[in-house]
Structure formats: structure tokens, C-alpha cells
């Protein structure tokens, strides 16, 4: 079992930055792929970025060049640095963990989820 706790959300103006963190419990964190998803009001949850145990990553086209995903296996944390935020990126952001270590972009590929952290970007 893995428990995930998301943090770092808040209110920022358009063009601003936020750094989200995901703290994981469990001895096998380093083997898991960590992903970030977001869900805007009235919309379906969508993939943002994912990073494998080895550091290989993938990101949604919409965030390339602005968001950076990273992890620290020694600290059991995964982070999402978000720069140049846009108002339409207001959403609840969730971290997730995939015990199979895939670099997936779909919700069903992830076994464990954080509670979510609210990001609000003002225009």
C-alpha cells in the first residue's frame, strides 16, 4: 500500500508559478511511476505529467516547456513545478502512483491517489 499526500496548491496570478509536492509512504516508492493529473470544474480529469522510477518522464502537450516533473526517491517525494500558469489551468491537481512502473497517461493505470490540492489561477 502507498499513501499519497498532495500539497502546494494556492492562488496565483496568470503567468505565476507554483510547486506541487506529493509525499508518499511505503518502502517501495522508488519502484513506482508517479503521475500528476488535474480536474477543472465541470471537466474530466486529465493527465499532466508522469515520471518513472528511473527518471524517464512524459508530459501532456499543453504543459511542455512550462511544467517540470521530478522525484526524490530518498525522500519519497514527487514534485511538479508549474511556470507561466494560465487561468484555464485552474483545477484540483492530484498525484498518483502506478505500482507496475509504467509511464502511463490514463487514470486506470494508477493504483493510488492523493487527496488533491487546489490550484487557482486568476486572470
pLDDT digits (tens, 9 = 90+) for 79-96: 999 999 999 999 999 999
- Identify the bridge partners of residue 71 per DSSP, sorted by sequence position: 78
pLDDT of 52:
95
The per-residue pLDDT for range 11-57, each reduced to its tens digit, is: 999 999 999 999 999 777 788 999 999 999 999 999 999 999 999 99
DSSP state of 66: T
Please indicate whether residue 29 or residue 64 has the higher confidence score (pLDDT): 64
Q: Which of 58-62, 72-76, 91-95 has the lowest mean pLDDT?
A: 72-76
Q: ∠ CA(108), CA(110), CA(112), 5° rounding?
A: 125
Q: What CA–CA distance (Å, rounded) separates 89 from 71?
A: 22
Residue 110 has pLDDT above 80, yes or no: yes
pLDDT at residue 118 in the model: 98
The three-point CA angle 14-16-18 to 5° equals 125
pLDDT at 28: 76
pLDDT at position 1 is: 79
DSSP 1: -
- Residue 24 CA to residue 97 CA, distance in Å, equals 9
Amino acid at each position: 500500500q502507498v499513501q499519497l499526500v498532495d500539497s502546494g496548491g494556492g492562488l496565483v496570478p496568470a503567468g505565476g508559478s507554483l510547486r506541487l509536492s506529493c509525499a508518499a509512504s511505503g518502502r517501495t516508492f522508488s519502484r513506482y511511476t508517479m503521475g500528476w493529473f488535474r480536474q477543472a470544474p465541470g471537466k474530466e480529469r486529465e493527465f499532466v505529467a508522469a515520471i518513472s522510477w528511473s527518471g524517464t518522464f512524459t508530459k501532456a502537450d499543453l504543459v511542455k516547456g512550462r511544467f517540470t516533473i521530478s522525484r526524490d526517491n530518498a525522500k519519497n517525494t514527487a514534485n511538479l513545478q508549474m511556470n507561466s500558469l494560465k487561468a484555464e489551468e485552474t483545477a484540483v491537481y492530484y498525484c498518483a502512483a502506478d505500482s507496475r512502473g509504467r509511464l502511463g497517461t490514463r487514470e486506470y493505470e494508477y493504483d493510488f491517489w492523493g487527496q488533491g490540492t487546489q490550484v487557482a489561477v486568476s486572470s
